[in-house]
Amino acid sequence: MKTKMILASSNSHKLREFREILEPLGCEVVSQKEAGIDVDPDETGSTFEENSAIKARAVYEIAKCAVISDDSGLEVDALGGEPGVYSARYGGTRDDRRHNELVLEKLSGVPDEKRTARFIAAITYIDEKGEEFCFVGKFEGRIGYCERGKNGFGYDPIFMVGDISSAEMTPDEKNAVSHRGKALRLLAEHIMKNIPEENDA
């Protein structure tokens, strides 16, 4: 029996990553747009976990079926954790290129050892019964000095892991180590432990 779940997003990059990991487990993942749900709640939380839950609850209230949502972003130590929960609208814009330029500008003159950073993803899962779970993944690296690579999106071109940027990784390489990949695998473990019991009922 397939478990259908709605992703509280219409972001095609996120939808692909969720499907790659969850569909082999027998889960059918559809975007909220595909499910005919048009809701865009204000993300008023102060943490990734809070914002992820806000989005998942808004869709669950309408759909009353399994829902998954994530909130993710970049934390740069030398910037006191910025951009953090404001990653998608850093500097008052939603322009990825401008976000990257702003981070690089703020880190001008900062040496390698102080350019440490991490991506964080918080995934909220609300099951058919309305029970809520949260899974968090982190991806450690540092901020480079220019944009590199074409494979990623967001801050990937300036996020360095060893000698390459996240945007220079293949999708499989990135999924194996990324924040969202780690959080998704924790979610997958939870689903694998619980789906058989539901199917046997």
Query: Which of 40, 42, 70, 71 is an active site residue?
Result: 71
The DSSP result for 128-165, as a single string, is TT--EEEEEEEEEEEE-SS---SS--TTGGGEEETTEE
71 in active site: yes
The catalytic residues are 71
